[in-house]
Amino acid sequence: MSLRLLLPTAVYAAILAFSSLPADDLSMLPAGLSWVGHVLEYAVLGAALRWAVDGVPGATAVTLGALACLAGIDEAYQSTVPGRDPSTLDWVVDVTSGAVAATAFVHWRG
């Protein structure tokens, strides 16, 4: 399992890299693209986390707990980036997107 954690770690590193962009750098993006980004980033993270812990007892609960914590850390981190603010709504979207993808992974895996 330890090598499997490399994928979600890399995905989360990419999420933090995007979260490091100041608001001014994001102002050129079309309206609504931020939401698409949140959904895609955390969907990929949710599926990667669920895959990484596949076979661990309570794997889905572990995945959901990790998603909630990682999304919270990401939102808190954004408060240190110029022009960015933490958002409870973003956290909810992140966790929900990850949870849906993790659930889809379980059903796809069969």
Residues 16-50 pLDDT 10s: 999 998 988 877 777 777 788 889 999 999 999 99
Q: pLDDT, tens digit, for every residue of 55-90?
A: 999 999 999 999 999 999 999 999 999 989 999 999
Interacting residues of 37 by C-beta distance below 8 A, sequence separation 6+: 18
Q: How far is Cα 26 from Cα 95, in angstroms, rounded to an integer? A: 22
Q: 33-52 vs 59-78: helix axis angle to the nearest 10?
A: 140
Average pLDDT, the chain: 92
